[in-house]
Chains A and B, each alone.
Chain A
Amino acid sequence: MTYEFLVASAIGVLVAGGIFLALRARTFQVVLGLTLISYAVNLFLFASGRLVVGRPPIWDKAVAEYTDPLPQALALTAIVITFGMTAFVVILSLRSFLETGSDHVDGDTVPCDAQDGLGGNKGGGDQP
């Protein structure tokens, strides 16, 4: 139970945090959310070959039991792709912010900033 529970709950927490952040309005938070989701997905892919401790993934005469090597290759591919995509989306949102003057995911300048100002005036104070 221990390992499985730990990994499963870690994936669950990562996905929950990722979804929450991805639904935020600012691109920075959305990028962080996507990163969290991709961590969770990589862990999930890794776990899809079952969790085995201390077994080699490569054939060896002396060993009788193995861990599944394929999910490791899949996770590696997924890591490379998500890493590249994260770099791209960071640059894209920076570029979008510099060009449009807004880091709102909808690209709206006025309503978003006005709302923030309103929230601050009402004494919400949730945005530092």
Chain B
Amino acid sequence: MILAEHLPVLPVAIPALAAPFALLVMRRRRALGVGIALTSCLAMLGAALALMARVIDGTIISYAMGDWPAPFGIVLVADRLAAMMLVLTATLALIALLHAVVTRADRKGWHFHPLFQFQLMGLNGAFLTGDLFNLFVFFEVLLIASYGLMLHGQGSARLKAGVQYVVVNLVGSSVFLIALGLLYSLTGTLNMADMGLRVAEIAPADQGLLRIAALLLVSVFALKAAVAPLHLWLARTYAVSTPAVAALFAIMTKVGVYSIIRVVPQVFGDGAGAAAWVPAPYLLPAAIVSAVIGFAGVFVARSLSEQAAYAVVGSTGTLLIAVAGWTPESLGAALYYLVHSTIAAAALFLVADVVARRRRGYGDSASPGADFADRQGAGLLFMVAAIAVCGLPPLSGFIGKLLILKSLAPLPDWGAGWTVILVTTFIGVIGFARVGSAVFWKAAAAEPQQPVPGTSRADFAAPVIALALLVALSVGAGWASAYANAAAAQVLDPTQSAAVVLLQGGAS
């Protein structure tokens, strides 16, 4: 089977082909372009699920691009974690695309669908690549597409936030390159698995440089993940983006988290000598601060989309509190919570859009306004999404937070993690309750409110699907958390993937 052999490259190749095709046909036949985009997302989901079926038993697939052997050529590496992220990306992309098409957000500019596909190509590539420079390239692909998507629909608020977003990320890219240059000059390789082996042989005189490179690299990932001192760009950017785009962006911060999870154990893990686990001590304080800031932002947010943006910061912080434990249990809990928090944050952005489309003159601002159509339905959706984001039972956020708390308990500094997670959850609940009661319960002066033309209940579809997925994630929590734990164990044992990547390269 030739296709099965090339399965790991499909998640990158499908959107790379779909984007130019969509661009070409969009001008004349809009529907065909939308069809191409939807087909591409479905095909990506299929490829990701097939890949997951292949790696679920613990095999690691290494795919040498152009058949160049591993340390010299570029490899794509598919393991449990990568497959999980690919499935999550494809699912989220389908939800966001559905919402964009249903609400006609994709018609506000020319190039929504091609940019969307390029964004997915960058995301999938970043999750699959086994080469550090290639990770940079895929980061750039997804960032460049995200600049276009973020500005989609134009308007001065987007342009203002866009300048900041682009400048911050350009500085981040420069720092990424400096870290890569340092690592290459020290180890002579860019392949992550190879680098993990060679990092142990670095001369004692160069250990300082290695530590600098490690910290620079992790701070770039932290910038992408919007971890505490580097989170300032996120709230403004996400709050003004087109909601369907913001829903997709929910996974962009997780790319930063993914890169930390992938690179730190593999390159700066136990084998790295004096530089072993250099970034680890900084992660927990940063995670705690960002959890606090995120949920404090949820508490004081002035609009539903701003609240969702701060929820992204807060959930990333919660996630990294678990990651900072670096045990298989805490990392497994973190991965389960990662899937949950991505979908939950996306659902919150979509619900904010559902409300904003119906409230004439008030948008999604968190102030009492006139009564609007489908107020009950939208309120119910908001409540479920808020329950999910806060981590209240019965949805998967509760299970995720419970797993995180359980996995932190045996660690020496569990007290800080427990306190912060429990207190921020409480703050988040109050914040959502405050905004929810203002928007959905209180009514200002009874102005006659005509329904906004062009709204039907079709735009309930995407958030409902997202919330249904969370229900499925709660029902299937046993299976999902077992998978997440297996993925975590695999990531924390880089010798296995190093053996596969380097041996396979030598053999072929």
Contacts and interface: CB of A to CB of B under 8 A. Distances in A.
Nearest to A107: B160
Contact of A37 (B133, B140, B174): B174
B174 A92 contact: no
Given A95-B159, A105-B164, A70 B184 contact: yes
Contacts of B477: none
Interface in B214-234: none
A82 B178 CA distance: 13
A70 B160 CA distance: 38
B312 to A, nearest CB: 22
Given A22-B167, A85-B173, A44 B159 contact: no
A100 B171 CA distance: 24
B166 A88 contact: yes
Interface in A93-119: 93, 95-96, 99-100, 105-107
B184 A27 contact: no
Interface of B is mostly: helix
B508 interface: no
Interface string B135-155: 001001000100100010010
Interface in A50-66: 50
A50 B185 contact: yes
A96 B162 contact: yes
A85 B185 contact: no
Interface string B168-190: 00110110011011101100001
B199 to A, nearest CB: 16
A74 interface: yes
B468 interface: no
Contacts of A77: 133, 137
A7 interface: no
B140 A89 contact: no
Contacts of B180: 45, 74
A86 to B, nearest CB: 8
Interface residues of B, number: 28
B364 to A, nearest CB: 21
Interface in B107-139: 133, 137
A96 B160 contact: yes
Contacts of B181: 41, 44-45, 47-48, 71, 74
A125 interface: no
Most chain B CB inside 10 Å of its own CB: which residue of A40, A81, A106: A81
Interface in B188-204: 190
Contact of B133 (A47, A49, A74, A106): A74
Contacts of B137: 77, 81
A45 B177 contact: yes
A49 B184 contact: yes
Interface in A1-57: 22, 27, 30, 34, 37-38, 40-41, 44-45, 47-50
Contacts of A96: 156, 159-160, 162-163
A85 B170 contact: yes
A48 to B, nearest CB: 4
B160 A30 contact: no
Contacts of B154: 99
B161 to A, nearest CB: 8
User: In the complex, which range does the number of interface residues on chain A fall in?
Assistant: 20 to 34
A29 B468 CA distance: 48
A116 B166 CA distance: 25
Nearest to B166: A89
A71 B174 contact: no
A40 to B, nearest CB: 8
A89 B174 CA distance: 15
Contact of B170 (A48, A71, A89): A89
A77 B161 CA distance: 28
A81 B174 contact: no
Nearest to A100: B156
Nearest to A86: B170
A49 to B, nearest CB: 7
A93 B164 CA distance: 10
Given A78-B177, A85-B144, A88-B147, A34 B163 contact: no
Contacts of B133: 74, 77
Contacts of A38: 170, 174
A84 interface: yes
Contacts of B140: 81, 85
Contacts of B178: 41, 44
Contacts of A105: 163-164, 167
Contacts of B144: 84-85, 88
A48 B163 contact: no
B168 to A, nearest CB: 10
Contacts of A49: 184-185
B83 to A, nearest CB: 28
A45 to B, nearest CB: 5
Contacts of B164: 105-106
A17 to B, nearest CB: 13
Given A34-B171, A77-B137, A92 B184 contact: no
Interface of B: 133, 137, 140, 144, 147, 151, 154, 156, 159-164, 166-167, 170-171, 173-174, 177-178, 180-182, 184-185, 190
Given A88-B166, A89-B163, 8 more contacts: A34-B171, A44-B181, A45-B180, A71-B181, A77-B137, A92-B151, A105-B167, A106-B164
